[in-house]
Amino acid sequence: MLSYLIRRLLGIIPLLLGITIISFAIIHLAPGKPTQIEQAFNPKVSQEVRLRLEKLYGLDKPLHIQYINWLVKLGKFDFGRSFIDERPVAEKILERIPITLTINIFSLILVLLIAIPLGVKTAVKAGSAFDHALTILVFLLFAAPTFWLALLLMQLLSIQLGWLPISGLKSLDFEYFSFGKKILDLAHHLFLPILVSTLGGFAGLTRYIRSNMIDALKQPYIYTARAKGLSQEKVIYKHALRNAILPVVTIIGLSIPGLLGGSVIFESIFAIPGIGRLFYEAVMSRDYPLIMAEVVLGGVLTMLGNLIADIAYGYVDPRIKYKR
């Protein structure tokens, strides 16, 4: 087990290198130097600043030297400073992480709470009217772009019914609220983003659990469980569900890139100051150190997510051996 962990951890080194190389390549091989673009789009950047920047980022040196210098800095968690406000990139990203994390964790919990029972139910009643109705809903949710769902729900819940704020995270007078009211205010603002994010996520997972469950219910060991005299509920929830649900652990890991990518659109619509919106702002203002940092961060987070999911899967599923 320990040697497996060590081997897996060693295995991420080439991946990490690959992630940094690709991130570096994308930005440096794309036509046009970042600083030129910076100048073109942002007239505030003078010729002098440009030269200073070029020197600062070592853009006058050969590419491989630039890469190694950048890598060394990355190793020290030095992502450079933002072009826009000269603040350290690491600081800017760190302050945005909690809100993105909160939304995604809440919606993930909701997705699991909805998708697992629905998946099981549709599998057990496969072919019923309930199953068909849910299948249609799942296809519709699958096909609807999240940002469109967001717009529709804003129109309905915020504008026509006036129940929820349209966007943002806090009310204007947030600072004067009592603690309890602050929490309520946050919840009020986060309700719609979490709802939309949940709607976008649960369709796929319901479908996945349904097909896993249908598969599990056909397995030979189900006959054994029934032959033992177990009740229908025990057969389903003890013997089939455990087998059907184990791979979900990896799905959660695999969903990280989608969630990060989705957060860009998502947080822009709802004006939520998370890392997705930060990335969008960075792209719009060609804030090159910030873009680089977020691309690397996205890659590393995804990789870690997969790694943790893999290890967790090996832990919960006895069939996976810690060998090879």
Interaction residues for another protein, span 295-314 (CB under 8 A)? 295, 298-300, 302-303, 306
Is residue 168 involved in binding another protein (CB under 8 A)?
A: no
Count H helices and E strands in the chain, helices first: 15, 0
User: Using CB under 8 A, which residues numbered 172 to 201 contact another protein?
Assistant: none
Residue with Cβ nearer another protein (90 or 271): 271
- Pick 119 or 298: Cβ nearer another protein: 298
We find the least distance from the C-beta atom of residue 63 to another protein, in angstroms, to be 16
Interactions with another protein, residue window 41-60 (CB under 8 A): none
The end-to-end CA distance of the chain, in Å, is 11
Residues composing the chain = 324
Q: Taking the CA atoms of the chain, what radius of gyration do you get in angstroms?
A: 24
111-140: which residues touch another protein (CB under 8 A)?
139-140
Separation of alpha carbons 122 and 131, rounded Å: 5
Q: Is 86 left (phi over 0), alpha (psi -120 to 50) or beta?
A: left
Complex with another protein: residue 106 or 287, whichever CB lies closer? 287
Work out how close the CB of 88 gets to another protein at its nearest, in angstroms, rounded to a whole number. Answer: 20
Instruction: Give 70 or 279: the residue with its C-beta nearer to another protein.
Output: 279
Out of 66, 102, 171, 219, name the contact with another protein by CB under 8 A.
Answer: 219
The one among 69, 224, 237, 315 contacting another protein by CB under 8 A: 224
List the one residue from 1, 2, 10, 161 that touches another protein (CB under 8 A).
10
Question: Please, which residue, 146 or 171, has the CB nearer to another protein?
Answer: 146
**Which residue, 265, 269, 273, is CA-closest to 101?**
273
CA–CA gap between residue 160 and residue 153 (Å, rounded): 10
**One residue of 84, 166, 169, 308 binding another protein per CB under 8 A:** 166
Any contact of residue 144 with another protein (CB under 8 A)? yes
Q: Is 42 left (phi over 0), alpha (psi -120 to 50) or beta?
A: beta
Beta-carbon-side half-sphere exposure of residue 259 (alpha carbons within 13 Å): 27
Q: Is 212 exposed, middle or buried (0-12, 13-18, 19+ CB in 10 A)?
A: buried
- Min CB(51)–another protein separation in Å: 20
Helix (H, G, I), strand (E, B) or coil at 59: coil
Site size with another protein, rule: CB under 8 A: 79
- CB of 234 closer than 8 Å to CB of 221: no
Q: Does 283 bind another protein (CB under 8 A)?
A: yes
169 vs 230, which CB is nearer to another protein?
Answer: 230
